[in-house]
Amino acid sequence: MRTTERRFARGLKNLAVILFVATLSVACGKNNKSGDNSNGNVGWGGFGGGVYQGGNGNSLPSNWMDIVSNENRCQQGGQRATTKIQVNAQVNVGALYVGVTSYGDIAVIRNENGQSVMHMYLCPRAGLTGQGNLMSQVVVENSYSCPMGQVSNADVQLASSYGQPYYLGFRPIHVQGTQAQSSLCRNQQYYQ
C-alpha cells in the first residue's frame, strides 16, 4: 500500500514540475508580448469593443482604448496609473462616455451595478496619490460623431504627497473644427 502511495505522490510531483515548466515556456517565450507595455498603458479594465449607448450607433473596435491613448499621449511620457471615483451623473447601463485632458489623461464613465463610475487613466505626476474628488458637476452627453458618448465637462482634484493638489479638466475626445480630433469619430454634427 505504501509503495502505491509513494508512486502516486511521485507522479503528482512530476506532473506539477512538468506543468510548471510548460507554463514558464509559454509565459516567457521569445514571441510573448503579454508583458510588453511599449505604449505606456495600464490594463484597460475590460472596456472592449462593441456598440454602446450614448454614441452614434457604430461599433467601437476592440482596441479603441489604445487608439484614444495614442491620440492623447502623456506630455511627459511614462506609464498611466489608474484610479476610479463615483460620480453624480445619469449613466444608463450599456452607456459609455469618454473624455481626455490636455495633459493626456483619459476618463471613461460607465454604469457599474447601478452606480456611475469614472475610471481615470492618469499620466505620471510627481507625488500623485490617486485620491481624488470632483470639483464640478460631471456633464456627459450623447454624440452623433463618435461611437461612444462624451465627457463634456469633469473637473477633478487629485491629491499629491507634496501638499499641492493637481486639477484635471476633462473634455471630449473629438471636437469638430479644433485640434481635438479622434480617428474613431466622424466630422459631423457633434451634439445630440
pLDDT the model gives residue 5: 67
The position carrying cell 521569445 is 30
- Supply the DSSP symbol for 14: H
β partners of residue 108: 98, 119
Grid cell, residue 75, equals: 506630455
Low-confidence spans in the chain with pLDDT less than 50: 15-17, 19-42, 189-192
DSSP 39-104: T-----TT--SB--BTS-SPPBPTTHHHHHHHHS--TT-SPPEEEEEE--S---TTBEEEEE-TTS
The position carrying cell 498603458 is 41
pLDDT the model gives residue 103: 94
Q: Which residues contact 172 (CB under 8 A, 6 or more apart)?
A: 98, 99, 100, 143, 146, 150, 151, 152, 180, 190
pLDDT the model gives residue 8: 61
pLDDT the model gives residue 167: 94
Q: So where are the chain's domains? A: 1-36, 64-172
